[in-house]
Amino acid sequence: MYNTQLTQDTFTPQARDLRVCSCDRAQMNSSEETSPTVAKKLDALPRIHFTSESISGDTEIYVVEHEEFSSPIEIVSGAGIGVTPYTKLLARNIPSNLAGQSVADFGTGTGIQAIVASLLGAKKTVAIDISAEAVSLAAQNASRNGAAVEFKQQVNEIPETEEFDLLLCNPASLPSDGLIGHFFDGGEMGNAMIFRFLDFCVRNLSSSGHALLVHTSLVPLHLTQEFARERDLDLSFVDLEVTPFRKFYSSILERLHSMRRHHGIQYLEKDGDLYELLYVIRIQK
Ligand SMILES: C[S@@+](CC[C@H](N)C(=O)[O-])C[C@H]1O[C@@H](n2cnc3c(N)ncnc32)[C@H](O)[C@@H]1O
């Protein structure tokens, strides 16, 4: 295991091969807040494999094979509610054995993270999405795969006294300020839903549990770190991936250029293509 400093220089597609980082609180609180230390992980994450097939229009079916599943599961996406590189990154970081654990998935979309958690043995799985269409699609996907998932549209429907062992979130987090649809829109700086999730952690994460959050380098990481620090949440980086910009980012490109100049977000241009870096952040109280 060896460490490397995550800087613009390490922003290469080869960073795809990097796995797990450990970044303790002291490092997170250092002046290099946006340069977490990462290390190559020697032990493998669970094997998970996605294939997709277009059904009609923007409806696709994703076949997900997981080493812990006896047969593949099928996730239907559509109506702007999809499966993305962010989705896949979070799904492969869900711990393989959730027997006896309670799990909540904030911003469930197609329901994929909640369904995977439920099928990995969680004793209780709650999925939350503000979008009624997403809840309906996710409920159909859960029933299609025989996964026991409870659905809610508002996080406040969960009692303050309820504690979860594992909280999951792949947030809508592009800094689009309404320029793109709600599935991806994280508000002006991209961090509106991230902050809601951190507050959810404060309220409903058990002291022995942890949360997993996908965070793009297109959102100011130092603001997330400050917000977490103010709430006494401990952050560490457990996985990362470099992924190319998707076509629809063209509508927020000017905004991203400006945020890179003024708010310290990061992305790489290489051979005419732009790349963002995705982190999986582990959160504990
Ligand atoms: C990027 S998608 C992630 C979907 C899915 N979890 C995945 O991994 O593919 C974000 C989801 O969060 C939902 N969302 C946005 N704001 C929300 C909020 N305040 N409360 C709950 N869900 C929200 C959106 O409707 C969308 O389905």
Ordered per-residue pLDDT tens for the chain, 285 residues: 223 334 433 433 334 333 333 233 223 333 344 445 544 453 567 789 999 998 888 899 999 999 999 999 999 998 889 999 999 999 999 999 999 999 999 999 999 999 999 999 999 999 999 999 999 999 999 999 999 999 999 999 999 999 999 999 999 999 988 888 778 999 999 999 999 999 999 999 999 999 999 999 999 999 999 999 999 999 999 999 999 999 999 999 999 999 999 999 999 998 999 999 999 999 999
- Residue with CA closest to ligand 1 atom 8: 87
pLDDT at 233: 98
State phi, psi for 171 to the nearest 5 degrees: -80, 155
Q: What CATH superfamily classification does 48-284 receive?
A: Vaccinia Virus protein VP39 (3.40.50.150)
Measure the CA–CA gap between 179 and 45, rounded to whole angstroms: 35
Among 129, 151, 200, 216, which residue has the most ligand 1 atoms within 8 Å of its CB, making it the best to mutate?
Answer: 129
pLDDT at 24: 30
- Residue 176 Cα, ligand 1 centroid: separation in angstroms? 15
Q: Is 275 in the pocket of ligand 1 (CB under 6 A)?
A: no
For the chain, which residues make up each domain, given as ranges? 48-284
Cα separation values, 183 from 80, 153, 178, 179, 180, Å: 7, 14, 11, 12, 8
Among 182, 184, 197, 246, which residue has the most ligand 1 atoms within 8 Å of its CB, making it the best to mutate?
Answer: 182
CB 285 within 8 A of CB 228: no
Nearest atom in ligand 1 to 82's CA? 9
